[in-house]
Structure 1
Amino acid sequence: MTRTALVLRHDPGIGLGNVAPTLASHGYAVTTIDTPGGDVGALDPLDWDVVVALGGTEGAYETDAHPYLAAEIELLATRAAARRPILGICLGAQMLAAALGARAYRGDAHEVGLLAVDLTPAGTASPVRHVAGVRMVEWHHDTFDLPDGVELLATSPSYPQAYGVGRWLLAVQFHPEVDDVILDGWIDRWSAEVHTGLTAEDLRADAAQHLDAAQAASRAMVGEWLDGLAGPDGPDVKND
């Protein structure tokens, strides 16, 4: 049976990337909406088996400047209230936190590069376990407070890195979608704005050493999460 996935994209250069083949191999037909020019408010939040909210240069708190973000947060809130599967990535994780009643905001630290994350005990029993000991792509300055009712799955020294609810909700601050093409584009566009002292050459050297492992861990993580949706507590059963 073909399942459906709605992808909320904020920039063509911040696309589905490495996550796309995992969705395809699990039988998902993908519809991508470019939210800055799309009518998010016209979408039925419950019309899809999975919603994936991707990253972006916007802040989840910039809803006045970017009204489509408010519409996305409302879509995610409605979907979360129905306990329907959601995967949030970076900005998507921040918007999902806002949809669950928490604060998203500009942080003090700029996390950029391929960096290790620390799993919590709950994280080691979740799909996030696949990123243990693997350097994952980070590229953000914003963060969020942990919403009530979620499990913290991973952290860094500066920020929460992953949280979840049951089998149906997974949110990650790091970037499982990033492949070679996406990362090259980010380095070309934004490496001059990085405030960590890393140069474009540093980022490319780290990618040559660590990105293949990050992509493999990401496919395993997303694949296990999707497998959980297809189990006895899958998307048609709105419990944990």
Structure 2
Amino acid sequence: MKSALIIRHVPHEGVAGYRDPIEAAGYQVDRIDVCDPDFSSCDLVRPDLVIMMGGPMGVYEHHTHPWIPCQLRRLARRLEADRPTLGVCFGAQMVAAALGARVYPGGAKEVGFHPVKVHARDTPLRHVEGVPVLHWHGDTFDLPPGAELLASSHVYPHQAFRRGRNLLALQFHGEMGEDPRFDAWIEQGPDDLAAAGHTPCAIRAAHDEHGPRAVAASRAMIAEWLSGLD
């Protein structure tokens, strides 16, 4: 079987709804946390697919999280080799940084369910056109050199990009909408919710209303992307 490695930056941000299409595409899924002692020596080039998930940290917080520059160096080698890679939220920001783009604090917290504007409807992003998906971030990034912008939101212009067929970066959380770990997001992010003008009850209601449709659309997106890998 093909190998897929999930890089998890915090325990409550896993692959969630993306696991089904990854396994359906014939991948044997493994996972490693950045706090794992083996992570510093983990070969990020070797797996057939690498999925880098989200986290509350900033790509620029090297002093607080010394594993970040190490991970960026190894990620850059993988991207140079054009190995299939998916980045989600913080993972997408790491991809942007590894490609030489600037990652920085944005002017607003983007938290909640709302759709993205898809710029290229002949791409896998067409599946999420008009579908409210979860956003939960405050950082943003410049579009990396050679990357194609795929989607924007009314808050931040850079919501998704690709480079060739093997790299997809998603700022939004299409994987979340049915995973019980969303409770941990609410518990650990009260300041983010307040900054975006939401309450825990409101975000939970939005999750219950929009989550299943968001996950279904996003699974179709990931399945199509995986089917087109070189």
Confirm whether residue 155 of structure 1 aligns to residue 158 of structure 2.
Answer: no
CA contact 1:40–1:71 (8 Å) conserved in 2: no
> Which of residues 166, 174, 177 is equivalent to 1:176?
174
Q: How many angstroms apart in 1 are the aligned matches of 2:168 and 2:116?
A: 16
Q: Deviations over 1:39-91 (max 9, x none)?
A: 43312222110110100011011122211111211121101101111000000
CA contact 2:33–2:39 (8 Å) conserved in 1: no
CA contact 1:16–1:177 (8 Å) conserved in 2: yes
Q: How many angstroms apart in 2 are the aligned matches of 1:139 and 1:38?
A: 28
Alignment of 1:1-240 (within 5 A): 2-120=1-119, 122=120, 124-159=121-156, 160-178=158-176, 179-194=178-193, 195-229=195-229, 234=230
Q: How many angstroms apart in 1 are the aligned matches of 2:179 and 2:150?
A: 26
**Unaligned residue ranges in structure 2 (runs of 5+):** none
Q: What amino acid maps onto 1:68 in structure 2? A: W
Q: How many angstroms apart in 2 are the aligned matches of 1:38 and 1:226?
A: 30
Which of 91-100 and 57-66 deviates more? 57-66
Q: What amino acid maps onto 2:181 in structure 1? A: I
Q: How many angstroms apart in 2 are the aligned matches of 1:221 and 1:47?
A: 24
Q: Give aligned-pair identity as a percent.
A: 45
1:238 is matched with: none
**Unaligned residue ranges in structure 1 (runs of 5+):** 235-240
SS at match of 1:139: strand
Which of 85-94 and 69-78 deviates more? 69-78
Which of 40-49 and 152-161 deviates more? 40-49
CA contact 1:117–1:154 (8 Å) conserved in 2: yes
Q: How many angstroms apart in 1 are the aligned matches of 2:179 and 2:39?
A: 29
**Shift of the alpha carbon at 1:145?**
0.7
CA contact 1:63–1:69 (8 Å) conserved in 2: yes
- TM-score between both structures, scaled by the size of structure 1: 0.91
Q: How many angstroms apart in 2 are the aligned matches of 1:142 and 1:8?
A: 19
Q: How many angstroms apart in 2 are the aligned matches of 1:28 and 1:15?
A: 16
Q: How many angstroms apart in 1 are the aligned matches of 2:190 and 2:21?
A: 28
**Shift of the alpha carbon at 1:207?**
1.2
**Shift of the alpha carbon at 1:191?**
3.0
Q: How many angstroms apart in 2 are the aligned matches of 1:4 and 1:180?
A: 23
Give the number of aligned pairs.
227
Q: How many angstroms apart in 1 are the aligned matches of 2:180 and 2:37?
A: 25
**Shift of the alpha carbon at 1:192?**
4.3
CA contact 2:6–2:32 (8 Å) conserved in 1: yes
SS at match of 2:55: coil
Q: How many angstroms apart in 1 are the aligned matches of 2:125 and 2:2?
A: 23
RMSD over aligned CA atoms reads: 1.2
Q: Deviations over 1:141-185 (max 9, x none)?
A: 011111010000000123210000121000000012213312222
- TM-score between both structures, scaled by the size of structure 2: 0.95
Q: What amino acid maps onto 1:188 in structure 2? A: E
